[in-house]
C-alpha cells in the first residue's frame, strides 16, 4: 500500500499516468501532472481558489457551443494558442509567418473571381487587397486558394450575427497563372473579443486591453506547400502593440493606402474613395 504524503503525491500521480498505453499520451499526462502540482505548490493554492477555478472551467464549458469556443478563447488570451502556432510553424525567414486561426473561420465559403467583392452590400470603406502568392525562390504559385474572412465595422463576424443565411464577409479566391490574387472587401476595424463570458470576467479584473487590431484573415492552401493560416493587419491601427491574443507580427502589418474614386487594380473602377493594400504571400514548401 502506498501511503500518500505532500512530498510523494506528485510522483505517485505521475507514475499512475505514465501507464497510458500510448507513449505520447503518457508523456503528455505525466508532464501535465508535474506542472499542475508545481503550480499548486508555488502559489499554495487554497481550497476556495481551487473551487473558483473548477467553477470557472464549468462556466467556460457551458457557454461554449458550435459558434462559441470559450476554452479556445481562454487559450488565446493566455498566449498558449500563439505559442503552439510558433512552435509548430518554424518557417523559413523568407516565408510569410503564421498566426492564430481564431474561432470565426467557417468552412465552405463561396468562390469568387479575381477582384470579386466579398462584402456584397455590407457597409464600409471599400478595400482592395492584391498581390501574388510566391514560393521561397520568388516564383509565382498558381492555383493557390486564399480562404478569406473578416469582421464587419462593428467587429461582428458572420457567426455572431443572428439569422444570416448567406456567406457574409468571407470568400475564396484562387491565384492566377502569375500567382496574382485580388480581393475586394470593406476595411476592417479593431474589435473586442467576446467579454460576456468567463474569459471576459477574468480579463475585466486586469489591466489587459481586450481588443484586436484591424485585420483580415487568410488560410492559403495549395498542393506542395504548408497550409498558411495568417492575417494582414492595417498599418497604424489601434491595438497593434497590445493584441489580446498575441497574434500580431510586424511582417503582417501593411499600409491601407487611401485612393481617389477611379480605376482599381482588377481592371474595374470605384465611384467613391477606397483603400489599397498590396501584399505578396510567400509559402513554405511542404516537408
Ligand atoms: C479572431 O481574430 O477572429 C480571433 C482570434 C482569437 C480570439 C478571438 C478572435
Ligand atoms: Fe479576427
The gap between the terminal CA atoms of the chain, to the nearest Å, is 50
Phi, psi (5° rounding) for residue 47? Answer: -65, -35
Residue of 212, 217, 219, 232 to test ligand 1 pocket, by largest number of atoms within 8 Å of CB: 212
In which residue are the cell numbers 473578416 written? 150
Q: Tell me how far the alpha carbon of residue 204 lies from the centroid of ligand 1, in angstroms.
A: 18
Q: Would you state the cell numbers that stand for residue 7, as one nine-digit string?
A: 512530498
Between CA 222 and CA 129 the distance in angstroms is 19
Q: Which of 87, 71, 173, 182 is nearest to 129 (CA)?
A: 182
Give the start-to-end residue ranges of the domains of the chain: 1-45, 75-283
pLDDT digits (tens, 9 = 90+) for 215-251: 999 999 999 999 999 999 999 999 999 999 999 999 9
| Ligand 1 site, residue 197, Cβ cutoff 6 A | no
Q: Which CATH class is domain 75-283?
A: mainly beta
Sign of the C-alpha dihedral computed for residues 90, 78, 215 and 67 taken in this order: positive
Ligand 1 atom with least separation from CA of 81: 6
Among protein residues, the one whose CA lies closest to atom 3 of ligand 1: 102
pTM of the predicted structure, to 2 decimals:
0.93
The residues with which 132 forms a beta bridge, in sequence order, are: 180
pLDDT digits (tens, 9 = 90+) for 49-92: 999 999 999 999 999 988 889 999 999 999 999 999 999 999 99
Amino acid at each position: 500500500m502506498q501511503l500518500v504524503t505532500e512530498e510523494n503525491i506528485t510522483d505517485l500521480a505521475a507514475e499512475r499516468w505514465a501507464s497510458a498505453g500510448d507513449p505520447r499520451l503518457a508523456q503528455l499526462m505525466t508532464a501535465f501532472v508535474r506542472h499542475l502540482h508545481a503550480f499548486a505548490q508555488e502559489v499554495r493554492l487554497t481550497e476556495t481558489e481551487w473551487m473558483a477555478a473548477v467553477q470557472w472551467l464549468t462556466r467556460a464549458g457551458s457557454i461554449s457551443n458550435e459558434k462559441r469556443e470559450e476554452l479556445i478563447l481562454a487559450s488565446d488570451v493566455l498566449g498558449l494558442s500563439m505559442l503552439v502556432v510558433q512552435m509548430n510553424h518554424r518557417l523559413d525567414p523568407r516565408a510569410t509567418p503564421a498566426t492564430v486561426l481564431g474561432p470565426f473561420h467557417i468552412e465552405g465559403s463561396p468562390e469568387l473571381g479575381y477582384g470579386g467583392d466579398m462584402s456584397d452590400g455590407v457597409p464600409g470603406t471599400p478595400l482592395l487587397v492584391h498581390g501574388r502568392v510566391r514560393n521561397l525562390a520568388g516564383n509565382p504559385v498558381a492555383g493557390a486558394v486564399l480562404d478569406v474572412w473578416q469582421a464587419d465595422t462593428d467587429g461582428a463576424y458572420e457567426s455572431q450575427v443572428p439569422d444570416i443565411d448567406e456567406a457574409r464577409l468571407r470568400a475564396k479566391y484562387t491565384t492566377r497563372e502569375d500567382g496574382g490574387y485580388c480581393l475586394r472587401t470593406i476595411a476592417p476595424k479593431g474589435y473586442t473579443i467576446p467579454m460576456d463570458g468567463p474569459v471576459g470576467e477574468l480579463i475585466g479584473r486586469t489591466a489587459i486591453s481586450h481588443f484586436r487590431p484591424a485585420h483580415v484573415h487568410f488560410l492559403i492552401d495549395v498542393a506542395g506547400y504548408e497550409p498558411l493560416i495568417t492575417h494582414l493587419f492595417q498599418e497604424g491601427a489601434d491595438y497593434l502593440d497590445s493584441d489580446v491574443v498575441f497574434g500580431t507580427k510586424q511582417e503582417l502589418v501593411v499600409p491601407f493606402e487611401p485612393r481617389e474614386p477611379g480605376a482599381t487594380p482588377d481592371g474595374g473602377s470605384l465611384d467613391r474613395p477606397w483603400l489599397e493594400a498590396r501584399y505578396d504571400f510567400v509559402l513554405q514548401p511542404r516537408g
